[in-house]
Amino acid sequence: MPHLFVDISSHGFGHLAQAAPVINALAVRRPELRLTIRCGLPVEKMRTRIHAPFHHIAGSSDFGFFMRDAVSIDPDATAAAYREWHAGWETRVGTEAALLHGLSPDLVLTDVAYLPLAGASRTGIPSLSMCSLNWADIFHHVFGHEDWAAPIHEQILSAYRSARHFLRMTPAMPMTGLPNARAIAPVAATGENHRGELQRKLGVSPETRLVLVAFGGFDKDLDATRWPSTSGVHWLVPESWKIVRRDMTAFEPLRMNFTDLLSSADAVLTKPGYGTFTEAACNGTAILYVRRNDGWPEQDCLIDWLEKNSRCQEINERSLQGENISMALKRLWGRIPPPKPKPDGIIEAVTLIDSFL
């Protein structure tokens, strides 16, 4: 019975959205697969995406970047965390190697932690990583000018380079520092359109447009209570906003699979992020996005790809408070939808992973 150990970053929901379609397709191909997954997200959240049985190890082996909100990093907290984490790097790698040796998987797969790759290398277990970004490049972009950063950057790069392949999902950062990078097509889950059922649940007319607000697992205060009422539009907003308005409904109590919800919406308001961008494009849902203001280096390649593969429109936070939001949605829905991209990266990833099992 082949055994796969998967480490999924809990830096938001995007890494789970990337990994789950691959894991699900692999489990269909390999129904006898023994699956161990480490992830810091709630296991209930994981099971909404991952349909195959798995043993869960709670916890995170990476932290990525600390965030002030969905579009702003906290550089001071992140810098302190990286310096502390890598001060004991060799000990951490040894502990990770011992864990993996005890689990004895046939393959280690990460999205996108690097510590398990270093641990697997020390133990002699083959490893793969996959993502649209890697922490080495993000770290260097933010901290490369700091005099303490070079040794840490080299340790992160070395861990990624120890993997047999890094599956660079389209769209992705260039990753020129990873000679083992291997480009694959987009990876995204596709859902079912239940718009009619959703409109009945909400008690709105069939002509009402539904706009989902989703920022990839991070909170973002957009002061939605001040948004103007937009004729013919009903908003599906996070439950944490605790908003009581006739034209807004919390989407979590609807108990609908997120990808189905996205596929059933007429548009999604979000930030640049791989999971929501590719899922919206592959499901034909229009996208209204608020650009990140922290210089996040992944966002430009995501936006460039989105403009070619979906109906999309940028909007700034100030415009959400005025009539510009109505005009932005009108322009968005007036565009001709391009052909929906196909998430062929799923089968590409599964084929490669399967070859190591």
Give, for 10, the enclosing helix (H) or strand (E). none
Please return the burial class of 264, using the count of CB atoms within 10 Å of its CB with bins 0-12, 13-18 and 19+.
Answer: buried
Please return the burial class of 312, using the count of CB atoms within 10 Å of its CB with bins 0-12, 13-18 and 19+.
Answer: buried
**8 Å CB contact between 175 and 130:** no
Q: What is the model's pTM?
A: 0.95
Place of tokens 């002699």: 124
Structure tokens at 55: 């043993």
**8 Å CB contact between 287 and 313:** yes
What beta strand segments (E) does the chain contain?
3-8, 34-39, 55-58, 67-69, 72-73, 107-111, 127-131, 165-169, 181-184, 209-213, 233-237, 248-250, 267-270, 286-289, 312-314
CB count within 10 Å of CB 61 equals: 23
Structure tokens at 89: 């790097």
Per DSSP bridges, beta strands 34-39 and 3-8 are parallel
What pLDDT tens digit does each residue of the chain (357 aa) get?
999 999 999 999 999 999 999 999 999 999 999 999 999 999 999 999 999 999 999 999 999 999 988 788 999 999 999 999 999 999 999 999 999 999 999 999 999 999 999 999 999 999 999 999 999 999 999 999 999 999 999 999 999 999 999 999 999 999 999 999 999 999 999 999 999 999 999 999 999 999 999 987 667 778 888 888 889 999 999 999 999 999 999 999 999 999 999 999 999 999 999 999 999 999 999 999 999 887 789 999 999 999 999 999 999 877 776 667 889 999 999 999 999 999 999 999 999 999 999
